[in-house]
Chain A
């Protein structure tokens, strides 16, 4: 295979995986605190329309990303009030949030359907971008791609090397113990949930401002659900989220290349389209097959409401 093809597959893979990484890592933090928010699809949709609208009016994509982040955070705040303060069922509320976000974004987005944004150029990192094959794919990318790596590094450090990260995990493992030694369980869960929403919002704005610079109803197309599934299949480990997201993006992009090339292989395209899901699940299940590590990493109190005793 020519290196230029390899390089462009790699380039497209990184782009396709980036929104999944950002959203899934945000969800991972929320879930580590014990809150299961199935509303990622809706929060991404809200982030996408907020990002698009603000970028259009301000002409500044970064204000758009900020707006997307705030929109996602606002949605997750709403969710947090329902499940953390009002003790609503997390699964049902998350599903409702998802439907609400998709519908509301369509409503808000009506006047924006005819608008278009100029494409945002890549941010080239000197020297590194000149490396053969991987240089262009990894270091001549959208700025949010670098952000997703920074986010990954930050989250790994936070969860496994910092005290607040330890507290967060403790809250997710046993909220009553965390509470009894004096940690504000509800407040920590609020923060973690809102962080998850903010990341979903950024992921959504990446789609509407950078990836396909347009707004159309339903443009998130299930990526929120994929992100949620990634967290589970990655058994709540950040590095596996990264692997899973790129694997998913990579297989999707590679199957498009296979179809477009004149290779003499006949595989039903329906199968090829299902392949990213299949491959991601199979690989993540295999690397996570040790039941003990799964149990070790899954937050014990995930999805369970907790009411601190007075």
Chain B
């Protein structure tokens, strides 16, 4: 395939025109960098809901680029947004961190916000959510709903965030059902519906009657629906992918935080902070509970939600015991954020072996 010089010139002109029209935005703009397509459910979908909330509730306009690879492409996209004068830029994936930090140094007047990660900059803030709070609640439901006492978990990569979810899930389950055990399968991919489904079917064939996942597709919920067992969604409400199977989902809500940040940028009061919010900030919620969950349990869950919001309930309150039976946190104490961020082990009740 060859392009004539003429075509190339035209193409360049069009591109140039696009760049200029971008630079002459009338209102202040907030830029969003998404790691995957927005789609209809999932991590990026929830961030896009937050973006739409900014659009609706503030005077800022927004723009986004989806499906940006975690690499040099990310730096290019972030730099482009800063160059055209976006007042605040949100990057929503762990792998953007170093690139955003690099760009933020070149644009000291722009506000940069990175979702997940650990490097705070002079003009780069961090935000993350306590996903494990929702996981704990789903664990409680799983512990009550299971008949086989075997739970299944399809997970992507053994990083602290994923392990927090797994451990919160089994801790929740065993808080109501000491016989519950959890089996974990790692698929080593955030996104491969075929493999995710296969892993779910494997767990179900090994006796799991409640399954959940920490990957990005809806395949696990669908597999559970097909096999007639229960499942929890993640990121988004996935009930339409498994109306009978889907008990509830741990859902993420970034909108309030985004709106707050944009307003602070607007009024000039923004300063980079590191926020790790959960129920208390409204960043984590459960999707509507399935009718299959008994009313008594539903009431208990709603009660626990209130306690999480009031910070009276901590999923990793002691005693926290690991697989080998070692007490990590004694009764009466809570695991610190620092400890949570270094989690690299399974708690008791997980019968699989940690893969590293």
Residues of A near any B CB (own CB < 8 A): 5, 8, 12, 16, 82, 88, 92-93, 96, 106, 113-114, 116, 119, 207, 211-214, 216-219, 221, 223, 252-253, 256-257, 259-262, 264-270, 272-273
Q: Which residues of B contact A106 (CB under 8 A)?
A: 37
Measured CB to CB, the nearest residue on chain B to A119 is: B226
Q: How many A-B residue pairs have CB under 8 A?
A: 116
12 more CB-based (< 8 A) A-B contacts, given A119-B222, A259-B186: A5-B205, A5-B206, A16-B198, A93-B1, A216-B217, A217-B67, A219-B217, A221-B192, A256-B199, A259-B185, A265-B353, A273-B189
A92 to B205, CA, bound (A): 44
Q: Indicate whether A221 sits within 8 Å of B198 (C-beta atoms), given known contacts A214-B222, A214-B241, A256-B185.
A: no
In this assembly, does B303 line the interface, its C-beta being within 8 Å of a C-beta of chain A? no
Q: Which residues of B contact A223 (CB under 8 A)?
A: 194
Residue in B36, B188, B202, B356 whose CB lies within 8 Å of A260: B202
In this assembly, does B22 line the interface, its C-beta being within 8 Å of a C-beta of chain A? no
Q: List 22 A-B contacts (CB under 8 A).
A: A8-B201, A12-B201, A82-B1, A106-B37, A114-B240, A116-B222, A119-B226, A212-B219, A217-B37, A217-B67, A219-B193, A252-B198, A256-B185, A256-B187, A259-B185, A259-B186, A260-B184, A262-B183, A270-B188, A270-B355, A272-B355, A273-B188
Q: Which residues of A contact B355 (CB under 8 A)?
A: 259, 266-270, 272
In this assembly, does B277 line the interface, its C-beta being within 8 Å of a C-beta of chain A? no
Q: Which residues of A contact B206 (CB under 8 A)?
A: 5, 257, 260-261
Residue in A82, A214, A264 whose CB lies within 8 Å of B193: A214
Q: Which 10 A-B pairs have the closest CB atoms?
A: A269-B355, A114-B40, A269-B186, A273-B188, A113-B40, A221-B192, A256-B202, A212-B193, A259-B185, A8-B205
A273 to B195, CA, bound (A): 10
Residue in B193, B241, B353 whose CB lies within 8 Å of A116: B241
Q: Which residues of A contact B179 (CB under 8 A)?
A: none
- Max chain B C-beta neighbours (<10 A), residue from A214, A252, A265: A214
Q: How many residues of B are in contact with the other chain, CB < 8 A?
A: 42
In this assembly, does B158 line the interface, its C-beta being within 8 Å of a C-beta of chain A? yes
Asked if B186 contacts A216 (CB within 8 A), the reply is: no
Asked if B184 contacts A259 (CB within 8 A), the reply is: yes
